[in-house]
Amino acid sequence: MVFKGFRFGMLLQVAVGPVCLFIFQTAASSGFASAETGVLGVAIVDALFISAAILGIGALISRYPKAEKFLKYFGAAVLSIFGISTIAAVFGVSLVPSLDFFQEQSTGDVFIKALLLTLSSPLTILFWAGVFSSKISEENMLRRDMYFFGLGAVLSTLFFLTSVSVLGSLVSSLLDPYLLNVLNVVVGFVLIGFGIKTALKSS
């Protein structure tokens, strides 16, 4: 069951999102070790989301449209703020100091930023609730099996994002300051794009 969860999780990783971009950017600008603290933060939140889905919190959220709408706009706001802050930092403007990706980051900063970015998609709980509902009906999955499946999915996150960290740290030697600025601007606009997409997504 762990392998099934890992395989399913790896399929999900194909859809590159803001967290993946953040880990790559961090590895390129601050090194592999810093990026790995971010990977740990992402894995922790993923584990919490999956556990919440198994415990039925996803079903609870879906019963209250206002709560679901609040979470959607909260996630959109976080992504947009991160994006705007990233672009502004390239030009030496510090809108939200603690969120400036361009500045040299401590491992603690990276960990917190990774947590916030991953938490910006709280409706992921609903996705996992749907996944486990289908698995229960298709494979008669027990609660113990759900946890093992979820463990496999979290391991896939650790594996994939660690690979991204390695790639980012290798690419860092090829990036001069100008290209690093360009990377930050691109990532900033992508994050804003994800924020707008999240806000406009129908419930």
Distance CA 153, CA 150 (A): 5
At residue 64, φ and ψ (nearest 5 deg) are -120, 95
Q: pLDDT at position 1, please?
A: 80
At residue 34, φ and ψ (nearest 5 deg) are -65, -45
CB under 8 Å to 106, separation ≥6 — which residues?
34
Q: pLDDT at position 159, please?
A: 94
Is residue 195 a contact partner of residue 83, using CB atoms and an 8 Å limit? Answer: yes
**Sequence spans of domains, the chain:** 2-9+18-200
Residue 173 Cα distances to 26, 29, 182, 188, angstroms? 13, 10, 15, 22
Helix (H/G/I), strand (E/B), else coil: 98: helix
Residue 3 Cα distances to 21, 145, 153, 163, 164, angstroms? 26, 11, 9, 18, 21
Is residue 54 a contact partner of residue 45, using CB atoms and an 8 Å limit? Answer: no
| Average pLDDT, consecutive stretches of 10 residues, N- to C-terminus, the chain (203 residues) | 84 74 84 90 89 75 71 76 76 58 57 82 71 68 82 91 90 69 78 80 63
pTM (predicted TM-score): 0.71
Q: pLDDT at position 39, please?
A: 92
Q: pLDDT at position 100, please?
A: 47
Q: pLDDT at position 40, please?
A: 92
Is residue 43 a contact partner of residue 158, using CB atoms and an 8 Å limit? Answer: yes
Q: pLDDT at position 137, please?
A: 61
